[in-house]
Amino acid sequence: MLTPTELRYSQDHEWVRVDGNRARIGITDFAQDALGDVVYLDLPAVGTAIGAGDKIGEVESTKTVSEIYAPVAGKIVEVNPDLVDAPERVNADPYGEGWICVIELSSEFDPSDLMDASSYIQMTEA
């Protein structure tokens, strides 16, 4: 299971990659493996303002439906258009081509709000 050390992680199995005032998010390798084959994503609309912890979408596998929560507060400024026709990218490359959306942060990012890789690994192994 991959858990890149340069990312931060939420309790809800999202990863966050912060670059300036923008945060790219997706679901973790652990999450995609637990879900199984992803067949559909309900993605947020660009322009939506969201609070940390808000539900922003759904990810569906062959067997189950799971909610996606915003790990940080801000505004959705980009969604991954390729997931409409190729949802399986979430399985194949969860930290790369399977990214879900980009959030413009409403306040300065505080890394201590989220877990580092070792804490996330600890949580998933518990």
Partner 1 sequence: MTDTEALRATPLRALHQELGGRLVDFAGWELPVQYEGVIAEHTWCRSSAALFDVSHMGVVELRPGAGSGGVAAVAEALEAVTPAAVTSLEPGRQRYALLTTDEGGIIDDLMVTNRGDHLVAVVNASRRDVDLAHLRERLGATGVEVIERTDVALLALQGPRAVDALARLVPTAAGLVFMDHVIVADGATLPNGTVTGPLGVARSGYTGEDGFELTVAADRADALARALLAQPEVRPAGLGARDTLRLEAGLPLYGHDIDLITSPIEADLAWSIPKRRRDDGRFPGAARIRAELADGPSRRRVGLSVEGRRPVRDGAALRTVDGAPAGTVTSGGYGPTVEAPVAMGYVPAALAGEGQILIADVRGTDVSVCVSPLPFTPHRYVRGAK
Q: Apex CA 107: angle with CA 95 and CA 117, to 5°? A: 35
**Upper half-sphere CA count for residue 21 (Cβ side, 13 Å):** 9
- Distance, CA of 64 to CA of 81 (rounded, Å): 22
Q: Count the residues in the chain.
A: 126
**Cβ closer to partner 1: 4 or 36?**
36
Q: Which of 37, 54, 82, 113 binds partner 1 (CB under 8 A)?
A: 37
Which of 49, 65, 92, 123 is in the footprint of partner 1 by CB under 8 A?
65
- Please identify which residue in 2, 6, 11, 42 interacts with partner 1, judged by CB under 8 A: 42
The nearer residue to partner 1, 12 or 104, going by C-beta atoms, is: 12
Q: List residues bridging with 19 in a β-sheet.
A: 22
**List of residues contacting partner 1 (CB under 8 A):** 36-37, 39-40, 42, 58, 60-63, 65, 84, 87, 91
